[in-house]
Amino acid sequence: QFHNRYQEELTRSKSVGDAIINSMSRILPTVSIALLATMIGFITLYISEVPMIRDFGMMLAVGIVLSYVAGLFLLHSIVYLGDMRNYGLTPHILYLLKN
């Protein structure tokens, strides 16, 4: 989902940084709500009387949060560095050169 939104924003924006900021600002609320819903679902496993199920629910909730944080920082950094390295070859620039 991020990559599609990023490609759309890249055609509208003048720079890779602006495209990343715009795509993050539009995707972040939706993904955050999905994170909260998933985390609440896994935390409800904590009410189980079986200790392994409780631990499993907490580990999944922690894992979801860590994945969210890693995706938030690492994904955008990798995309930014990758497009800045190949800035002259991005689809946005090629599109502008063709038209």
Average pLDDT, integer, range 15-30:
85
Q: How confident is the model at residue 53 (pLDDT cuts 50, 70, 90)?
A: very high
Extract the runs of DSSP E, i.e. beta strands, from the chain. Answer: none
pLDDT for the residue 98: 56
| Residue 13 backbone class (left: φ over 0; alpha: ψ -120 to 50; beta: rest) | beta
Neighbours of 10 (CB within 10 A): 23
- Can you give the pLDDT at residue 57? 92
Could you say which DSSP state residue 86 is in? Answer: T
Please state, in angstroms and rounded to a whole number, the distance separating the CA atoms of residues 5 and 79.
12
| Segments making up each domain of the chain, as ranges | 2-98
Q: Output Rg (C-alpha) for the chain, integer angstroms.
A: 19
Q: What is the pTM of this model?
A: 0.67
